[in-house]
């Protein structure tokens, strides 16, 4: 329906009484009544909710707002995906945001020291949901060549969605990682970090936020 398909003539299966034959896909017993009105409502509800979810995922996956957040060597390669050769703006990820409040993707570009880890966690907590995290490079995925007392792998304190290997990864590799994340968000939106970690219901809501809008209500219902 979103694509603006023109449906000519009677919608098949919409009024089974007229035809006298029930379509096969309705015989599985999902709609309790084969009554015309109830069925139509059922179909409309189904079609609407799934396409809306898909549309939202499509939009989310195509417009990540990464945080302007550089740690070490990988940050230079992260900068170069915005530059002329790769031009990540082709896919819509070029709007790097300086404030975590405006970002929904954090790219950990470099080595994470024990001193920096709490800061990163705090920045991540400040980002608005839904949010994603990419661990770029060997250091913050596995402590890399150093592998010593000073570093922490990012998985120890953040739910990472995509790991990009390399030391540092080529900009193409990072872009591939972002596109993989896009695929995840668009095709498998149920693989967000809350679902993976069983953290539904832990959302922080301000007191009185229930009255604020429908989005909050939806969140509550899912929880």
Partner 1 sequence: MSSLQGRTLAQGVTLAPLSEDVEEWGGAREHDELFELNFGPHHPATHGVLRLIVTLQGEVVVEVKPIIGYVHTGIEKTAEDKSYWKVIPVLERMDYLSYYFNAMAFCSATERLLELEVPERAQYLRVIHLELNRIMSHLVWLGTSALDLGAISIFWYCFREREAILDLFEMSSGQRMHTRYFQVGGVIEDIPRGFERKLRQFLKVMPARADQYADILNANEIVLQRLRGTCPLSAERLLALGVSGPLLRAAGVPWDLRKATPYSSYERFDFKIPVGTAGDNYDRYAVRHAEIYESVKIIEQALDGLPEGPHITPDRKVSLPPRHELATSMEALIHHFKLVTEGFRVPAGEAYVPIESPRGELACFVRSDGSSKPARVHMRDPSFVNLQALSEMVRGSYIADMIATVAMLDPVLGGIDR
Residues engaged in binding partner 1 (CB under 8 A): 68-73, 75-77, 79-80, 83-85, 98, 100, 110-111, 113, 115-116, 119, 123, 139, 145-146, 148-151, 167-168, 170
Q: What is the dihedral of CA 119, 102, 168, 112, to 10 degrees?
A: 10
Least CB distance to partner 1 at residue 103 (A): 11
Least CB distance to partner 1 at residue 132 (A): 18
Q: Which is nearer to partner 1, 57 or 109 (CB)?
A: 109
Contact yes or no for 149/122 (Cβ under 8 A) = no
Q: Which is nearer to partner 1, 60 or 170 (CB)?
A: 170
Any idea what the Cα angle at residue 108 is, between residues 154 and 79, rounded to 5°?
Answer: 165
Q: Which is nearer to partner 1, 2 or 167 (CB)?
A: 167
Any idea what the Cα angle at residue 51 is, between residues 21 and 23, rounded to 5°?
Answer: 10
Q: Which is nearer to partner 1, 60 or 97 (CB)?
A: 97
* C-alpha to C-alpha distance for 120 and 75, rounded to whole angstroms: 15
Q: Which is nearer to partner 1, 64 or 69 (CB)?
A: 69
Q: How far apart are the first and last CA of the chain?
A: 29
Q: Which is nearer to partner 1, 43 or 123 (CB)?
A: 123
Give the tokens for residue 102.
Answer: 């405006």
Give the tokens for residue 180.
Answer: 């993989």
* C-alpha to C-alpha distance for 121 and 155, rounded to whole angstroms: 11
Least CB distance to partner 1 at residue 166 (A): 10
Least CB distance to partner 1 at residue 93 (A): 16
Least CB distance to partner 1 at residue 67 (A): 8
Closest to 155 (Cα-Cα) out of 190, 183, 196, 188: 196
Least CB distance to partner 1 at residue 104 (A): 16
Exposed e or buried b for every residue in 50-71, given b needs 16+ CB within 10 A?
eeeeeeebbebbeebbbbebbb
């Amino acid at each position: 329906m979103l694509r603006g398909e023109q449906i000519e003539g009677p919608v098949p299966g919409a009024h089974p009484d007229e035809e006298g034959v029930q379509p096969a896909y309705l015989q599985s017993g999902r709609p309790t009544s084969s009554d015309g009105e109830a069925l139509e409502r059922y179909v409309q509800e189904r079609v609407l909710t799934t396409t809306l979810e898909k549309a939202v995922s499509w939009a989310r996956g195509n417009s990540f707002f990464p945080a302007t957040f550089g740690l070490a060597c990988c940050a230079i390669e992260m900068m170069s995906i915005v530059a002329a050769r790769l031009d990540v703006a082709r896919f819509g990820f070029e709007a790097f945001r300086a404030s975590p409040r405006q970002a929904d993707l954090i790219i950990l570009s470099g080595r994470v020291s024990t001193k920096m880890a709490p800061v990163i966690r705090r920045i991540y907590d400040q980002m608005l949901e839904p949010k994603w995290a990419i661990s770029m490079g060997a250091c913050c995925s596995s402590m890399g060549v150093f592998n010593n007392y000073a570093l922490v792998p990012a998985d120890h304190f953040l739910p990472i969605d995509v790991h990009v290997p390399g030391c540092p990864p080529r900009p193409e590799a990072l872009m591939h990682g972002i596109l993989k994340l896009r695929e995840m968000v668009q095709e498998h939106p149920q693989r967000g970090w809350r679902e993976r970690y069983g953290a539904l219901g832990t959302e922080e809501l301000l007191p009185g936020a229930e009255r604020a809008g429908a989005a909050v209500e939806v969140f509550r219902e899912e929880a």
